[in-house]
């Protein structure tokens, strides 16, 4: 793959709003030269101590200590007819207390239990259905099985059998469960109080992959929905066959269960059998719950401030997830932070108590991380839930621009005062696009928008021209597409790469396999790549707008009518400038906004709008709806102000290695600039500095 030389000049070609000369310098000589502190919605710096006892929620138990409500509690049903009490004993069958293993040392016990369940299901059906209906139901089931066994395809619509209308909701629930347990090859459907029975085509499909006995047991397991239970298919030494079973279960029931392969307990080198184990995913909240039950099942959320040094945020989250026994998507945060810096940001982790988080404090210090301000909260964070960021930055090796002989101090003063007064162009920073020389995050995002899943995977795993373990592993993958072999080469700290490779090893390097692999990333990270592409387009659009019209507000521009807004304001607050408003100079350039790509935005009605359409056509997105259903991604879009201001900006000149000013004269050859300021959320300090210095840092 050729190096993207165009990209390297792409950011440097973006125009400025100020006309001063600027100066040169170096940032991020060390992480301590670039300090970022998040400002929360209340305007407080998140590195300040919070006066709240850490053990305030010490009595909150772990999630797994909560008792799960059974799917159907027959013992607690209230019927008018006292004879219904006979059904109390059947709750044992509906709740399903077995572990549902088709190949177990307790085979006899399970068989006895299954036999008892079948008898009890018969009792339920005999109790609720008259003799004729029960006989017709059994005949319907036999007919379905006979046709399947004869291998003749069912012609026309799928056959149905109706039990008629059953008004009592509890009776319907009992019948649904009993029929599915007795006849796993059938499904039941509710239609206006009517119970309708149909062939279970998914059962038939599974029978092509596993034995009928396994298929029966698997669908019984699915219907029982017993929390923390597992189902295990018979040992299988055929890797391709196991892949097919994994694929079937995840495709049909992936929102309900997850699958994993494990070596059989009696594993030996000469008998390399592997079993596929199925377990239920953690359930999301139910729509109907009593207040008491909601309180009992309330998810634990622990908030904290994360300090990290010279560490990518996703890498930090991955490391914390491993140490806490959760997954990266259990962490929420308000925004992404720089890698080569010391950063402070608020985070919330789900399913972890404050005490548990405190227990890993010493361990994570080795990874240049600290956690503090640990406390219990009631909900997660969301992206954008911050007021902004505070920056303390040291710019070293200051010098004049080439062929500029004016006093350097005057140039620095002039530049900072200009940006103080006029602001800076609100570009997305270059770190949003990654530091790779061959592939950038916006290229991956474009591939995802075009549903080119395999291409997106290959772009993600494209190596740089460096001879290190990570790039050697990536190079091996592109040459072989051997996910398992690449995993053995990929360093443990590359959490995202390893997660992707594990999924590819499991699902294969097919289009469907690559889709499943992208689901190994949290939703926010899948969005990150698409947002990177949208950000690249916005940057180019903003530069084109300023080059075309300058600081004038012209007809067809979009302006925001509110003074204090973030990016996520609705289209109703966006106004299209008219010819009369242009003539009257009704609006200023600081009110002009441009759309960030999505399905719910409008474009300017001037040359800038035409530029957007031509650019989308160039990239093959002329018909793109900005939705990627296969990855569960919807991109509504938003608006972003062209210009922004730095707040509370202050600065001082100092000796290159001095923290404080000491002495009188400073040698300009070792001059450094310490600059501090606040920026609104989603603004970039490197972009602000670029405008100040007129130099691509």
Q: For tokens 């499904």, what's the residue?
A: 187
pLDDT per position as a tens digit, 148-205: 766 554 445 678 888 888 877 778 888 888 888 888 888 888 877 788 888 888 888 8
Q: Are 367 and 492 in contact (CB under 8 A)?
A: no
Q: Are 441 and 532 in contact (CB under 8 A)?
A: yes
- pLDDT higher than 70, residue 113: no
345 phi, psi to nearest 5 deg = -150, 155
What are the helix (H) ranges across 619-682? none
The structure tokens listed for 674 are 């310490």
Question: Tell me, what's the pLDDT at 85?
Answer: 38
Coil vs helix vs strand at 443: helix
pLDDT per position as a tens digit, 18-55: 999 999 999 999 999 999 999 999 999 999 887 544 33
Question: Tell me, what's the pLDDT at 127?
Answer: 75
CB neighbour list of residue 140: distance below 8 Å, 6 or more residues apart: 159, 161, 197
Three-point CA angle 411, 417, 420, nearest 5°: 140
At residue 62 the predicted structure's pLDDT band, cuts being 50, 70 and 90, is very low
Q: Give the torsion sign (CA, 470, 471, 476, 478).
A: positive
Q: CA-CA distances (angstroms) from residue 43 to 12, 107, 178?
A: 33, 63, 58
419 phi, psi to nearest 5 deg = -70, -30
Helix axis angle, 169-182 relative to 107-128, nearest 10°?
Answer: 140
Q: Are 170 and 77 in contact (CB under 8 A)?
A: yes
Q: Rounded distance, CA 101 to CA 485, Å?
A: 31
Q: Rounded distance, CA 675 to CA 32, Å?
A: 13
- pLDDT higher than 60, residue 409: yes
As beta bridge partners, residue 309 has 342
pLDDT per position as a tens digit, 512-525: 999 999 999 888 88
Question: Tell me, what's the pLDDT at 297?
Answer: 58
* Higher pLDDT, residue 261 or 481: 481
Q: Are 672 and 654 in contact (CB under 8 A)?
A: yes
HEC readout, 465-482: CCCCHHHHHHHHHHHHCC
Question: Tell me, what's the pLDDT at 227?
Answer: 77
Please measure the distance between the N-terminal and C-terminal CA atoms of the chain and give it in whole angstroms: 27
392-421 CB burial, b ≥16 within 10 A, e <16? bbbbbebbbbeeeeeebeebbebbbebbee
Q: What is the DSSP secondary structure assignment for residue 150, as one 8-state letter? A: T
Q: Which helix (H) or strand (E) holds 370?
A: strand 369-377
**Highest-confidence segment of 89-98, 426-435, 489-498, 565-574:** 489-498
10 Å Cβ neighbour count for 424? 23
At residue 664 the predicted structure's pLDDT band, cuts being 50, 70 and 90, is very low
Q: Are 176 and 188 in contact (CB under 8 A)?
A: yes
Dump the DSSP string for 505-530: HHH-SSHHHHHHHHTTS-HHHHHHHH
- What percentage of the chain carries pLDDT values higher than 70? 79
Tell which residue, 131, 330, 125, 251, has the closest CA to residue 511. 251
- pLDDT higher than 70, residue 79: no
Indicate if 338 belongs to the active site.
Answer: yes
Q: Rounded distance, CA 322 to CA 27, Å?
A: 33
Q: Are 455 and 632 in contact (CB under 8 A)?
A: no
10 Å Cβ neighbour count for 375? 18
Domains, the chain, in order of start with CATH, read 16-34+390-424+645-658+665-693 (3.30.1360), 120-280 (no CATH), 301-386 (3.30.70.3160), 427-431+531-641 (3.30.2350.20)
How many CA atoms, within 13 angstroms, populate the side-chain half-sphere of residue 435?
A: 6
Q: Are 545 and 610 in contact (CB under 8 A)?
A: no
10 Å Cβ neighbour count for 557? 26
Tell which residue, 652, 620, 603, has the closest CA to residue 448. 620
Q: Rounded distance, CA 54 to CA 52, Å?
A: 6
Question: Tell me, what's the pLDDT at 650?
Answer: 95
Sheet containing strand 161-165, strands side by side: 161-165, 194-199, 186-191
Question: Tell me, what's the pLDDT at 8?
Answer: 44
Q: What is the separation of C-alpha 54 from the centre of its chain, rounded to a whole number of angstroms?
A: 29
Q: What is the CA radius of gyration of the chain?
A: 31
Q: Rounded distance, CA 533 to CA 475, Å?
A: 25
From 338, 442, 557, 680, active-site residue:
338
* Higher pLDDT, residue 53 or 579: 579
As beta bridge partners, residue 348 has 303, 332
Q: Rounded distance, CA 373 to CA 47, Å?
A: 8
Q: Give the torsion sign (CA, 675, 681, 684, 687).
A: negative
Tell which residue, 4, 56, 14, 649, has the closest CA to residue 376. 56
Q: Rounded distance, CA 546 to CA 271, Å?
A: 69
Q: Model-level pTM?
A: 0.63
- pLDDT higher than 70, residue 61: no
């Amino acid at each position: 793959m050729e190096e993207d030389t165009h990209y390297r000049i792409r950011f440097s070609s973006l125009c400025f709003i100020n006309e001063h000369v600027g100066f040169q310098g170096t940032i991020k000589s060390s992480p301590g030269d670039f300090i970022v502190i998040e400002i929360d919605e209340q305007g407080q710096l998140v590195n300040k101590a919070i006066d709240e006892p850490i053990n305030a929620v010490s009595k909150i138990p772990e999630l797994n200590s909560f008792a799960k409500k059974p799917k159907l509690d027959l013992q607690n049903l209230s019927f008018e007819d006292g004879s219904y009490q006979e059904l109390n004993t059947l709750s044992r069958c509906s709740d399903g207390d077995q572990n549902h293993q088709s190949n177990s040392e307790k085979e006899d016990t399970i068989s006895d239990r299954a036999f008892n369940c079948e008898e009890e299901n018969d009792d339920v059906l005999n109790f609720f259905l008259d003799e004729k209906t029960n006989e017709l139901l059994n005949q319907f089931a036999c007919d379905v099985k006979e046709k399947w066994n004869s291998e003749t395809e069912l012609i026309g619509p799928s056959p149905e059998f109706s039990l008629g209308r059953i008004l009592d909701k509890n009776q319907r629930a009992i019948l649904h469960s009993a029929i599915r347990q007795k006849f796993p090859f059938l499904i039941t459907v509710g239609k206006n109080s009517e119970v309708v029975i149909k062939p279970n085509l998914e059962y038939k499909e599974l029978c092509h992959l596993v034995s009928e006995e396994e298929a029966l047991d698997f669908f019984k397991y699915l219907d029982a929905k017993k929390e923390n239970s597992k189902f295990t298919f018979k040992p299988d030494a055929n890797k391709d066959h196991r892949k097919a079973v994994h694929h079937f279960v995840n495709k049909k029931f992936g929102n309900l269960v997850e699958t994993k392969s494990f070596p059989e307990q009696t594993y030996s080198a000469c008998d390399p059998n592997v079993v596929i184990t199925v377990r239920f995913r953690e359930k999301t909240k139910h729509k109907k719950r009593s207040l008491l039950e909601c309180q009992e099942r309330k998810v634990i959320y622990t908030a904290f401030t994360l300090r990290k040094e010279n560490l990518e945020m996703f890498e930090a989250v991955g490391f914390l997830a491993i140490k806490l026994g959760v997954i990266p998507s259990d962490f929420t945060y308000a925004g992404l932070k720089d890698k080569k810096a010391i950063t402070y940001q608020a985070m919330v982790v789900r399913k972890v108590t404050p005490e548990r988080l405190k227990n890993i404090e010493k361990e994570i210090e080795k990874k240049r991380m600290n956690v503090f301000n640990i406390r219990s909260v009631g909900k997660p964070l969301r992206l954008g839930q911050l007021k902004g960021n505070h920056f303390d930055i040291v710019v070293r090796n200051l010098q004049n621009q080439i062929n500029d002989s004016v006093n350097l101090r005057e140039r620095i003063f002039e530049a900072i005062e200009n940006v103080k007064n006029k602001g800076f162009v609100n570009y997305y920073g270059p770190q949003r696009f990654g530091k790779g020389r061959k592939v950038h995050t916006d290229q991956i995002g474009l591939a995802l928008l075009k549903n080119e899943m395999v291409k997106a995977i290959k772009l993600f795993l494209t190596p740089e021209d460096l001879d290190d373990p990570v790039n050697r592993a990536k190079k091996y993958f592109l040459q072989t597409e051997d996910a398992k072999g690449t995993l053995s080469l990929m360093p443990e700290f590359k959490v995202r790469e390893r997660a992707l490779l594990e999924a590819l090893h499991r699902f294969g390097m097919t289009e469907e396999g690559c889709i499943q692999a992208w689901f190994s990333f949290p939703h926010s990270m899948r969005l990150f790549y698409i947002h990177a592409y949208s950000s690249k387009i916005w940057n180019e659009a903003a530069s084109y707008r300023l080059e075309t019209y300058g600081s004038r507000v012209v007809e067809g521009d979009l302006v925001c009518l509110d003074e204090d807004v973030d990016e996520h304001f609705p289209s109703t607050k966006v106004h299209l400038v008219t010819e009369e408003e242009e003539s009257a100079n009704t609006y200023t350039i600081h009110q002009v906004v441009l759309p960030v790509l999505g399905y719910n935005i409008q474009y300017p009605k001037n040359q800038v709008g035409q530029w957007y359409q031509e650019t989308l056509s160039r990239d093959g997105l002329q018909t793109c709806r900005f939705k990627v259903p296969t990855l569960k991604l919807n991109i509504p879009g938003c608006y972003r102000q062209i210009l922004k201001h730095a707040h509370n900006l202050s600065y001082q000149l100092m000796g290159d290695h001095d923290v404080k000013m000491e002495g009188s004269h400073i040698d300009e050859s070792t001059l450094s600039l310490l600059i501090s300021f606040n920026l609104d959320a989603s603004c970039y300090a490197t972009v602000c500095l670029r405008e100040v210095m007129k130099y691509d840092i």
